[in-house]
């Protein structure tokens, strides 16, 4: 195992390297040779075990130990919300405000908790204990609305009162509240250790038990009403999809009985091609539309290639237009004109707009009118005096 003296770190990364080099190298060793960059995600969690967030020093440490630049580390650290870019409290309290949790009162839980703590989203209380955030989804719709602490489920079917009571217990610093289900609550830095891929040695850190009643509600209702999938057997293995047959080989087999002696012995009904299934209305409409699109695409291709169009119209539209403008090619095209005409307003609003914004002419910007004679004379006298 390398030591801090065997890896060259910048002054910014050295303090973290002295603390984290050994576990960082252990993380990198989990990945194949030449794929060490894949270790960036757990390394960022490892940095947060010390600092509680991904600091510039943490970015430098990850970049230097992986041999990549800091911009690449920063791109990952700023993409995922679990990597914090500023100091975070000891307990990160997340309230789900997504669709189902919101409908069942999640937004009210968040609003009252925010008012109680005096902080908003991604803000930390003055004592440094609680950071509040609203989460888009915590993947527990069956227990909505839900609240997590450091990414562990803490309160199911939460109410503003139960959530505020739990947060106050966290702030007091005594016995930690018992979660509704799942592992015991730990500090954010302890959770980062787990997310970095290291075991949590605390008693009760790993929860066990069966799925709760809300999760099993659908199964329970099915059992109560005697609903079951016909011929369903839980122990039946899942069949795999067969490889697609080689149709060319099948054609050879069907045409040459010598290839397969069994073909000649089979009854006529077995060797007869299957009847083509009748087309439905949707299929017929789709085919008809596809035919029209194909014809239109061919017409465009012919036109751009300068070829004659099929279907009796042998004249290319571009060629026809050119001949109409200049049938003999002996004189200039006079179908257009160089004199600009004012657009005719079609309603009072357009008329008012045109009156206030006269069109520009002679290549001059709108409003760039001729200078007054007096101004022109004054400019001329200035030039004479300079001479």
Closest CA to 131 of 175, 85, 174, 176: 85
Specify the pLDDT at position 116.
95
What 3-state DSSP class applies to 70? helix
289 located within any domain: no
Backbone angles phi, psi at 154, to 5 degrees: -115, -45
Asked whether the beta carbons of 151 and 94 are under 8 A apart, the reply is yes
Same domain? For 124 and 155 the reply is yes
Closest CA to 191 of 109, 104, 119, 84: 84
Worst-scoring range by mean pLDDT, 177-186, 226-235, 307-316? Answer: 307-316
Same domain? For 63 and 151 the reply is no
Final residue of a structural domain among 31, 46, 77 = 77
Residue 100 vs residue 291, higher pLDDT? 100
Q: How many CB atoms lie within 10 A of CB 198?
A: 16
Pull the structure tokens for residue 44. 């960022």
Closest CA to 28 of 8, 13, 42: 42
Closest CA to 149 of 122, 131, 136: 131
Same domain? For 73 and 101 the reply is no
Asked whether the beta carbons of 56 and 12 are under 8 A apart, the reply is yes
State how far the Cα of 70 lies from the Cα of 117, in Å rounded to an integer. Answer: 36
Residues whose CB falls within 8 Å of the CB of residue 245, separated by 6 or more in sequence, listed in order: none
Pull the structure tokens for residue 276. 């083509």
Same domain? For 44 and 97 the reply is no
Range of the domain at 161: 91-195
223 located within any domain: no
pTM of the model: 0.56
State how far the Cα of 43 lies from the Cα of 279, in Å rounded to an integer. Answer: 58
Same domain? For 47 and 120 the reply is no
Segment 74-128, tens digit of pLDDT: 999 999 989 998 889 999 999 999 999 999 999 999 999 999 999 999 999 999 9
What 3-state DSSP class applies to 35? coil
Asked whether the beta carbons of 207 and 182 are under 8 A apart, the reply is yes
What 3-state DSSP class applies to 34? coil
Specify the pLDDT at position 130.
94
Q: How many helices (H) and strands (E) does the chain have?
A: 16, 5
174 located within any domain: yes
Stretch 362-368: mean pLDDT: 49
Same domain? For 52 and 115 the reply is no
State how far the Cα of 317 lies from the Cα of 323, in Å rounded to an integer. Answer: 10
138 located within any domain: yes
Which contiguous run of DSSP H or E holds residue 325?
helix 317-325
Write the CA distances from 175 to 103, 169, 171, integer angstroms: 32, 8, 10
Q: Which residues is 149 bridged to in the sheet?
A: 93, 152
Backbone angles phi, psi at 101, to 5 degrees: -60, -40
What's CA 153's distance to the chain center, in Å? 25
| CATH classification at residue 72 | 1.10.10
Q: Whole-number mean pLDDT of the chain?
A: 77
38 located within any domain: yes
Q: Exposed/middle/buried for 195, CB within 10 Å: 0-12, 13-18, 19+?
A: middle
DSSP codes, 130-174: EEEEEES--S-GGG-S-EEETTEEEESS--HHHHHHHHHHHHHTS
DSSP class of 37: G
DSSP codes, 246-271: -HHHHHHHHH-TTT-HHHHHS-HHHH
Specify the pLDDT at position 266.
46
Would the CA dihedral through 88, 89, 90, 94 be positive or negative?
negative
Final residue of a structural domain among 162, 195, 228 = 195
Task: Say if strands 147-149 and 123-124 run parallel, antiparallel, or are unpaired.
Answer: unpaired
120 located within any domain: yes
Same domain? For 64 and 106 the reply is no
Same domain? For 112 and 73 the reply is no
Residue 2 vs residue 294, higher pLDDT? 294
Same domain? For 30 and 109 the reply is no
Same domain? For 105 and 159 the reply is yes
| CATH classification at residue 105 | 3.40.30.10
Same domain? For 98 and 156 the reply is yes
Same domain? For 62 and 106 the reply is no
Segment 183-214, tens digit of pLDDT: 788 889 889 988 999 987 777 666 656 677 88
Final residue of a structural domain among 51, 77, 103 = 77
Pull the structure tokens for residue 365. 């910007």
Residue 8 vs residue 280, higher pLDDT? 8
State how far the Cα of 178 lies from the Cα of 207, in Å rounded to an integer. Answer: 12
Closest CA to 169 of 191, 147, 190, 142: 147
256 located within any domain: no
330 located within any domain: no
Q: Count up the domains in the chain and report the number.
A: 2
């Amino acid at each position: 195992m390398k030591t801090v003296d065997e890896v060259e770190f910048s002054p910014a990364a050295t303090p973290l390297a002295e603390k984290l080099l050994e576990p960082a190298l252990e993380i990198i060793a989990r990945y194949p040779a030449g794929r060490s960059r894949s270790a960036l995600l757990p390394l960022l969690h490892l940095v947060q075990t010390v600092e509680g967030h991904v600091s510039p020093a943490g970015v430098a440490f990850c970049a230097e130990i992986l041999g990549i630049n800091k911009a690449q580390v920063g791109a990952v650290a700023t993409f995922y919300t679990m990597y914090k870019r500023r100091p975070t409290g000891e307990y990160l309290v997340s309230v789900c405000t997504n669709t189902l949790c919101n409908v069942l009162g999640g937004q009210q839980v968040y609003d009252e908790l925010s008012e109680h703590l005096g902080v908003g989203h991604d803000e930390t209380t003055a004592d440094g204990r609680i950071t509040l955030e609203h989460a888009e989804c915590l993947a527990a719709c069956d227990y909505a609305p839900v609240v997590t602490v450091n990414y562990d489920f803490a309160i199911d079917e939460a109410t503003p009162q139960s959530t505020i009571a739990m947060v106050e217990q966290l702030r007091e610093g005594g016995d930690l509240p018992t979660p509704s289900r799942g592992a015991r609550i730990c500090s954010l830095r302890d959770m980062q250790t787990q997310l970095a891929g290291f075991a949590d040695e605390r008693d009760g850190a790993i929860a066990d038990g069966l799925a709760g009643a809300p999760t099993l509600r659908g199964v329970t209702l099915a059992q109560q009403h005697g609903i079951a999938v016909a011929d369903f057997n839980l122990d039946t293995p899942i069949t795999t999809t067969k490889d697609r047959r080689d149709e060319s080989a099948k054609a050879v087999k069907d045409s040459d009985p010598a290839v397969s002696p069994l073909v000649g012995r089979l009854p006529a009904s077995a060797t007869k091609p299957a009847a083509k299934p009748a087309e439905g209305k949707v299929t017929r409409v789709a085919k008809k539309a596809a035919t029209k699109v194909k014809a239109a695409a061919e017409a465009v291709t012919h036109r751009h290639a300068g070829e004659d169009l099929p279907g009796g119209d042998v004249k290319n539209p571009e060629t026809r237009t050119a001949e109409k403008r200049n049938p003999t090619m002996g004189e200039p095209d006079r179908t257009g004109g160089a004199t600009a005409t004012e657009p005719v307003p079609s309603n009072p609003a357009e008329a008012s707009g045109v009156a206030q914004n006269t069109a520009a002419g002679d290549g001059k910007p709108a409003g760039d009118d001729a200078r007054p004679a007096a101004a022109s004379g004054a400019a001329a006298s200035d030039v004479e005096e300079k001479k």
